């Protein structure tokens, strides 16, 4: 059995070199993402034979991330198959990128069946597009921002030790408005968001906030994902303030994402409203994700 353990902050020291070497745009390949969602998805990690392994899922519903590293990839995957067998759980790999499905199928011809997981597709945008909002397609976004600027005495600030508590208070109010305690999905998200706040500086997150008349009305947090892509992990705004969402989106891209060609704004998890909102920004890349299941389980 692979020697998995619950992901901890100290694992960042050895995990991030694997992620940097792999240089992948998928949101699953973010240490901050795995760490902040660790309690929700029971995320465990291991280092074996030159590879970084990830296992997620509670009880018998375990699944693995496609291994990254240098060495014998076939043997690495066989180790995970054996691990699943010993745990008496069907073997599957989640969050797979297209090139990974091709590699897996070439290593194990005909042994896996692949399923498209549309709800996990990452929305990746050109930084230039989000910063400038040029063209007819994004005309409505520009209008919302112009109205926001006209109606609010606003300011933008990077998140710092001096103002992070103001962001947390805004987040707390947002959760009350949205009923986080009553909605299972929002409750899980709130757990990940709390972790992001608690470990913001240890994770070296970057964030920005928006104020109107000195009061925080929106904030966002993210960090570099790979050589050309910045990932946005969290974005919250008071929906009743017209233009607050597009404004924090644009301001953060302008101030915090210089030097990157793309912005990964993660998946929509199948939520219709979120999907509509993400599509309305016209992503440059809709990063396809797949789940691979071993035919016959973990035999």
27: alpha, beta or left? (left if phi > 0; alpha if psi -120 to 50): alpha
The set of long-range contacts for 266-273, using a CB threshold of 8 Å and a minimum separation of 24, is 266/27, 266/122, 266/123, 266/231, 266/232, 266/233, 267/27, 267/119, 267/120, 267/121, 267/122, 267/123, 268/119, 268/121, 268/123, 269/119, 269/120, 269/185, 270/118, 270/119, 271/185
The pTM (predicted TM-score) of the whole model is 0.96
Of 46, 80, 96, whose CA–CA distance to 292 is shortest? 96
Domains and CATH numbers, the chain: 5-121+288-294 (3.40.630.30), 122-266 (3.40.630.30)
Q: In the prediction, which pLDDT does 296 show?
A: 78
Model pLDDT for residues 252-267, shown as the tens digit of each residue: 999 999 999 999 999 9
Model pLDDT for residues 127-148, shown as the tens digit of each residue: 999 999 999 999 999 999 999 9
Mean per-residue pLDDT, 97-112: 98
Q: In the prediction, which pLDDT does 297 show?
A: 60
Model pLDDT for residues 218-272, shown as the tens digit of each residue: 999 999 999 999 999 999 999 999 999 999 999 999 999 999 999 999 999 999 9
Q: What is the 8-class DSSP label of residue 28?
A: G
Model pLDDT for residues 60-72, shown as the tens digit of each residue: 899 999 999 999 9
DSSP string computed for 174-243: HHHHHTTTT-HHHHHHHHHHHHHHHTTTTTT-EEEEEEETTEEEEEEEEEEEETTEEEEEEEEE-TTSTT
Q: In the prediction, which pLDDT does 133 show?
A: 98
């Amino acid at each position: 059995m692979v020697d998995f353990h619950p992901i901890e902050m100290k694992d960042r020291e050895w995990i991030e070199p694997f992620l940097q070497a792999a240089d992948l745009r998928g949101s699953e390949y973010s240490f901050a993402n795995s760490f902040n969602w660790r309690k929700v998805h029971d995320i465990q990690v291991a280092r074996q034979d030159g590879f970084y392994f990830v296992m997620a899922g509670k009880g018998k519903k375990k699944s693995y991330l496609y291994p990254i590293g240098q060495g014998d990839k076939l043997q690495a995957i066989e180790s995970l198959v054996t691990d699943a067998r010993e745990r008496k759980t069907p073997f599957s790999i989640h969050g797979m990128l297209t090139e990974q499905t091709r590699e897996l199928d070439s290593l194990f011809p005909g042994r896996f069946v692949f399923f498209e997981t549309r709800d996990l597709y990452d929305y990746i945008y050109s930084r230039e597009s989000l910063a400038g909002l040029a063209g007819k397609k994004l005309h409505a976004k520009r209008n919302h921002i112009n109205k926001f600027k006209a109606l609010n005495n606003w300011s933008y600030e990077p998140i710092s030790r001096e103002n992070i508590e103001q962001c947390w208070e805004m987040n707390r109010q947002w959760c009350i408005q949205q009923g986080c305690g009553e909605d299972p999905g929002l409750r899980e998200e709130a757990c990940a968001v709390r972790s992001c706040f608690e470990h913001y500086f240890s994770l070296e997150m970057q964030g920005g906030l928006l104020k109107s008349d000195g009061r925080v009305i929106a904030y966002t947090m993210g960090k570099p994902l790979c050589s050309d892509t910045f990932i946005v992990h969290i974005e919250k705004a008071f929906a009743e303030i017209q233009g607050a969402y597009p404004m924090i989106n644009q301001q953060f891209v302008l101030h915090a994402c210089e030097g990157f060609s793309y912005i990964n704004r993660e998946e929509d998890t199948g939520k219709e409203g979120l999907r509509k909102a993400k599509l309305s920004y016209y992503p440059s890349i809709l990063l396809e994700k797949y789940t691979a299941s071993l035919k016959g389980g973990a035999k």
